[in-house]
Amino acid sequence: MNYYPSAVRVDCPHYDERINDSDVSLLVIHNISLPPEEFGGDGIRGLFTGTLDISAHSFYAQLKGVKVSAHCVIYRDGQIEQYVPFSHRAWHAGLSSFQGVSRCNDYSIGIELEGTDTLAYTAAQYDALVELTCFIRKAYPRITLGRIVGHNDIAPGRKTDPGIAFDWAYFRQQVNRNI
């Protein structure tokens, strides 16, 4: 299952082949807002598709030439866009390690939530994330609850997302109810 059926597919050039699709065993939850702490614009899509207009906001200048992606983005209204097929390697984790194994992009799926570390995520985002997580776990059963982590868990000291605003207990309870 390369795509989530309910997602809007968006072409993205920032990904490559996985070494082994059967190695997928980690789900990484991130947050993103572009410009920072602003929602609803086309900045995220522009960044992940390589079409970000760096003159549109002063913050964007530092993103010139950056090539990043995630498998999916969940917007504040719960809409999901998919940028990279699950069978391929998205460029979301950067310098990372989980349980002593580096290069998390090789064996993970990355989900971005439109948000910030300190602003509560929406009910629509949690609903969409739970459904997407259950779908992914059926396709990749090596992703157990203990292997669903935040970006901060795989890049401590470098990353803080999804932040203190993310309700891990609620999210995990909802995933358990829907298995």
Give me the active site residues, please.
Answer: 112
3-state SS, residue 99: coil
- The Cα–Cα gap between 23 and 143 comes to 10
Q: Which residues pair with 30 in a beta bridge?
A: 112
Alpha-carbon dihedral 133, 28, 18, 178, rounded to 10 degrees: -10
